[in-house]
Amino acid sequence: MRWSPALFLVAAHFALATPLVSKRWEDASFLEKHSWNAVPRGWVYQSAPSPDHLLDMRIGLKKARGSELIAALYEVSTPSNERYGQHLSKEDVDALVAPHADTVEAVESWLRFHGIEPAEALFRSSGGNWLTLSVSVAQAERMLDTTYGVYTHPETSETVVRTLSYSLPEELHQHIDVMTPTTYFSTLQTLRSNSFIIEENVGDNDVALKTAAVGAAVPSSCNTAITIACLKALYNTAGYVPTATDVNVLGVAGYLDQYANRADLQTFLKAYASNATGTSYETVLVNEGGDDQSDPGVEANLDIQYTVGLSAPTPNIYYSTGGSPPFIPDSDTPTNTNEPYLDWLNFILAEDTIPQTITTSYGENEQTIPRDYAESVCDLFAELGARGATVFFSSGDYGVGGSDCLTNDGTNTTLFQPAFPASCPYVTAVGGTHLVNPEQAVSFSGGGFSRYFDQPDYQTAAVDDYVSALGTQYNGLYNPAGRAYPDLAAQGSGFRVVIGGSVYSVGGTSASSPTVAGIFSLLNDYRLSNGLPSLGFVNPLIYANPAGFNDITAGNNPGCDTNGFDATAGWDPVTGLGTPDFLKLQPIVLA
């Protein structure tokens, strides 16, 4: 259901009955929606904001048919289902995520009571379940029974307006999933990019790598230096040439003012993928994102050089998602909520057509994200999957957990720390490997078990085998009933990347995710070329077909003062089902 004029009239009728409306909300009792018991780690309280400071307040409304969306996602994504491959249209998804008329009426009545006109919303999703409104701090504090503060992040110099808790009238808990900005502190500047520079200016040593022919044999140099030739040989894509280039698209989601550089791409292709020389990509700016060609980003160049290098001539799109203007006390300029995922998701879901394959190389500890926010964002990834997109996320670079692994619930308990969005059951999380003949798990490969999301049926059998073999080891440190990740893996160390004209060695699962995305983009091309729809959400397919992957049985992912999990035969929380074998997967995706 859209926010139609008819619904506005219904709400207006209630608003006109001022005594009734006033009593409805004046007498309302509040129930807490989310709270932190202390200022989130890394942030420092600075001051109280001006009551007139404006916020772009997002409201996520309950979906009247949300369970039907998830059911449809699994139906069109499960090979044994008669609806397999029959992806939903944008209009189909909009209908399933639309709020009930009662939700619209209640929320609009509440907004008007606080002097906010819904018709003046800055943004409404086409399904009507998300809207953004300009709200003053004073209004937000009354609406949410809370007190906002100005908080700074010394490491990044980021400043935000947030609160440590918020509540809603009891009646609205059945109508609202999440409101933000409230207790979610992370911003584009505090997100973790899952990549790191291993060595600078390695180009002079790469003569042999640059002249190596792409073929079936894996060059011995791939033990320490990864190029397009290594990946094509390792994952058996060397002989495949995409043909569905008028339909198939590969998307890369970029953040953190990371700009992909076109000149660096051509230098990279000339050196390591000469067959693709001249191939470029489209940059799409989201939320005032940039495209500064004088400031090449490590993460952006890593992503685009390997997605283009592996998938050419498939069209690639780099989405440059902007952040917020700096916070200025007493400014009348609204502070953008600077939500890392919502900005991009709201944009892409509003598009009539979306890429068949999407990769993102950012994440953060699951516990740092309010559960209501994480669940709402995860549901948006489900919408992408239902529409036929395969969504990959890097699994993180901290093994079973980085830093001291202490919980943020006030108990300071040491627990393994899962990462989000990798822990969302509607994305495909990608861990890391290194070495060749055979590949082994790389020690930083993020993996574990969610504490927010239940274990989905598609992976239960595979995960149960691992947990049973693990026995009592690490009891209490992880949630064996949670969504387990990663799902897959690929090389993640020693990637040659051109940055500002020089060649760097770069590592991280940020390298693994675009690698797997490039290979699955070829599989999407293969399906489309054979008259079939795109793969869409692939997790049910891959767990039903583990033979399509190279099982990784050596290595582990230490963290939290432990050795972490071990890579073993079958699925494991270090490398998932293993690394992709394109030739084995081709018949699987056509079956």
Residue by residue, what is the 3-state secondary structure of 367-420? HHCCHHHHHHHHHHHHHHHHCCCEEEEECCCCCCCCCCCECCCCCCCECCCCEE
Residue 246 CB: number of other CB atoms within 10 A? 8
DSSP category for residue 437: S
How, if at all, do strands 357-360 and 250-254 pair? Answer: parallel
Burial class (CB in 10 A: 0-12, 13-18, 19+), 530: exposed
**27 assigned binding-site residue:** no
Q: Is 303 a catalytic residue?
A: yes
User: Which residue, among 136, 153, 127, has the nearest Cα to 45 in the 3D structure?
Assistant: 153
Which one from 56, 94, 303, 525 is the annotated catalytic residue? 303
Q: For the CA atoms of the chain, what is the radius of gyration? A: 24
Q: Check: CB of residue 159 under 8 Å from CB of residue 152.
A: yes
| d(C-alpha 143, C-alpha 322), whole Å | 28
CA distances 444 to 196, 486, 559, Å, are 11, 12, 9
**149 assigned binding-site residue:** no
Q: Check: CB of residue 576 under 8 Å from CB of residue 548.
A: no
Q: CA geometry: angle at 382 spanning 376 and 383, to 5°? A: 95
H/E stretch holding 45: strand 44-47
User: Which residue, among 393, 286, 395, 284, has the nearest Cα to 338 in the 3D structure?
Assistant: 286
Which one from 510, 513, 521, 534 is the annotated catalytic residue? 510
Sequential DSSP letters for 315-343:
-EEEEEE---PPP-TT-SSPBP---HHHH
| Sign of CA pseudo-dihedral 528, 534, 539, 544 | negative
| d(C-alpha 485, C-alpha 468), whole Å | 16
Q: Is 47 a catalytic residue?
A: no
**570 assigned binding-site residue:** yes
**348 assigned binding-site residue:** no
Amino acid sitting at position 540 = P
Q: Say if residue 313 is preceded by a cis peptide, omega within 30 of 0.
A: yes
DSSP category for residue 565: P
Q: Is 510 a catalytic residue?
A: yes
Residue 320 CB: number of other CB atoms within 10 A? 25
Catalytic residue numbers, as ranges: 299, 303, 510
Annotated binding-site residues for Ca(2+) read 551-552, 570, 572
